[in-house]
Chain A
Amino acid sequence: MTATARDRVIERKIRTRPDRLPIGPLERVLRWTLRVVVALVFAFLVIPILIVVIESFNSVDYLTFPLEGWSLVHYERFFGDPAWIDATLKSAKIAVLAAVIATVVGTFGAWGMARTPGRGAGFAFALMYSPIVVPIIVLAMGFYFVFADLRLVGDWVAIAVAYSVMGVPYVLTSVSSALQQLDPELENAARTLGARMRQTLARITLPQLTSAISAGALFAFVIAFDEAVIILFVAGSDSVTLARRLWDSVRYDLTPTLAVAGTVLIVVCVGLFLITELIKALRERRRS
């Protein structure tokens, strides 16, 4: 192909797809390399999680991969063992309470911050957001000392309250960003029409924040459901959560029953995540 002929081809390509430049051989190689690398990284991200799920169907009493045979024996063992079931229910109980507290605190905090001018809001934000920054081991020690002083070690309500602290930042950021997109004139309109502030909040503002609040709440639940550091310090014999039992089991007996416990955690947490994605998709459809 002569130079002018190639120029003409390029020119035509630019005219038909003005957003695309012609792709040279170097670029083609680079693109394929990129695709391969990205595919490998995705495999790296997802495969370990799949391995846990697959391992739970193991038919023998030790961890192997690939499996020597498929069976549900470890599911029977997990669901037949009151200790695992109790731990799962305890985790759920603690996580529900923690999520409720975190949601109330985070939602009111976000709304109060948005409606409070000046320094106060900044201080409140720092206080409510910072649990995300503080290393969990530091939080765990703080709770351990206080729980020991107040004789609260092992108390499930106290554990739930401690966990709620870790959920607050997520509820806060989720609700805050939704509040920013809210039209403030709606609140003003309600107020000018004579509604009191708390009526405005309950009837106008909160209903528009439901999806943001539920996303925050679900994440707060997930954090509390699989929290594994604080519980090592503050669990008594009466408050062994699923994560705590899982930890002990990983440390001392590494059996495939563990993989079932892990799968339960994965199913609950990923299931809740997919629910938030669904809420998001539904909301966007409604909007458009």
Chain B
Amino acid sequence: MATRSTATLRPPPGDDEGEGSAMPGERPRPFLRRPRFATVALALPVAFMVLVYAYPVGAMLLKSVTEPEFGFGNFGRAVSDATTWHALGVTVRMSAEVAVLTVLLGFPVAYVLARVTARVARILSVLVVIPFWTSVLVRSFAWIVLLGDNGVVPRLLSPFTGDTAGLLYSEAAVVIALTHILLPFPILIIKGTLDQIDDSLVRAARTLGAGPVRAFLRVYLPLAFPAIVSSGMLVFVIGLGFYVTPALVGGPKESTIAVVIAQSVQVTFDWGLAAALATMLLVVAVALTLVVRRLTKVKGLVSL
């Protein structure tokens, strides 16, 4: 080791030059050096993603202004088309309904998960995450069974409705199925925030004379609010672009934007219009997601 004694703090040549080069009395940097290993380790995945991911998405975006000819004609057609507006209205309304429902149903679960012991919380979390790992296709199929003619739900409701006709191929069916599919998101996001709320704050409010409801509404809920809003927005964004469930469980009257896009590609071969709609969808999704990211982070879905 004696021969290396002067160089112990300097990484071997051609490797990471991080801290080493900052040492005083260091040799001047060689004019041409091999790139750092970490740079290469990062550059290869980046190159892969550019080629396999950014290029197809970019090509799609480009098609919105070049197919069939250069210009913004596709966007003009998309905006002036009544079907687009109808689909847009349906999509936004359903996504908003699903967002509100998932948050309303998810908050109590998150609240309980955050307050039980760690062991119980872990077991219950498994029940929340299992649906998340189950195929969307399978979960949509489950709702076809549940909501179809003579299905479980219509029969449970028959005392009120008078018949056992199915609820399938309606907006209600899509909203119910999507609520089921997206519910794990708010639960896990809100739980992540509730875990960090200091319980002694509520206890302090209680000892100072606030009732349980007041302490909850005035102290606890405001602290949970950012997570509630951001998880609702996340669900909204995912709902906007959802394809499988509306296509399988919804009817033709309830075509969402994603369904219209798929039809334009596969049925009418209007690639330009499809690309224009997809571009608008992408812009909205990215913008809203950036807002959500400012507020919270999704955690606990895939973690060790």
Contact = CB atoms under 8 A, between A and B. Distances in A.
Contacts of B39: 112, 116, 120
Interface string A82-117: 000000000000000000010011101101110110
A138 B57 CA distance: 7
29 contacts: A34-B112, A38-B112, A41-B105, A41-B108, A41-B183, A44-B180, A45-B183, A46-B127, A46-B131, A48-B143, A65-B151, A105-B49, A109-B45, A112-B39, A112-B41, A115-B41, A133-B237, A135-B281, A137-B262, A138-B60, A141-B278, A145-B59, A178-B304, A191-B16, A229-B243, A233-B266, A259-B141, A262-B137, A277-B126
Interface string B229-271: 0000000010011111000100000000010011001100001
Contacts of B240: 135
A26 B302 CA distance: 39
A34 to B, nearest CB: 6
A32 interface: no
A60 interface: no
Interface residues of A, number: 107
A226 B131 CA distance: 13
Interface residues of B, number: 96
B9 A109 contact: no
Contacts of B180: 44-45, 48
A81 B129 CA distance: 32
B197 interface: no
B275 A141 contact: yes
Which label, helix, strand, loop or mixed, suits the secondary structure of the A interface? helix
Contacts of B146: 48, 51, 65
B49 A143 contact: no
Given A131-B53, A140-B243, A272-B133, 6 more contacts: A49-B131, A142-B57, A197-B16, A247-B248, A250-B140, A262-B135
Interface of B: 4, 8-9, 11-12, 15-16, 36-46, 48-50, 52-60, 63, 105-106, 108-109, 111-112, 124, 126-131, 133-146, 148, 150-152, 180, 183-184, 203, 206-207, 211-213, 237, 240-244, 248, 258, 261-262, 265-266, 271, 274-275, 278, 281-282, 285-286, 289, 301-304
Contacts of B126: 274, 277
Contacts of A170: 301-302
B158 to A, nearest CB: 14
B60 A142 contact: yes
A191 B141 CA distance: 54
Given A41-B105, A269-B133, A270-B130, A64 B150 contact: yes
A19 B200 CA distance: 9
Contact of B52 (A48, A138, A161, A228): A161
Given A145-B271, A165-B53, A273-B129, A121 B139 contact: no
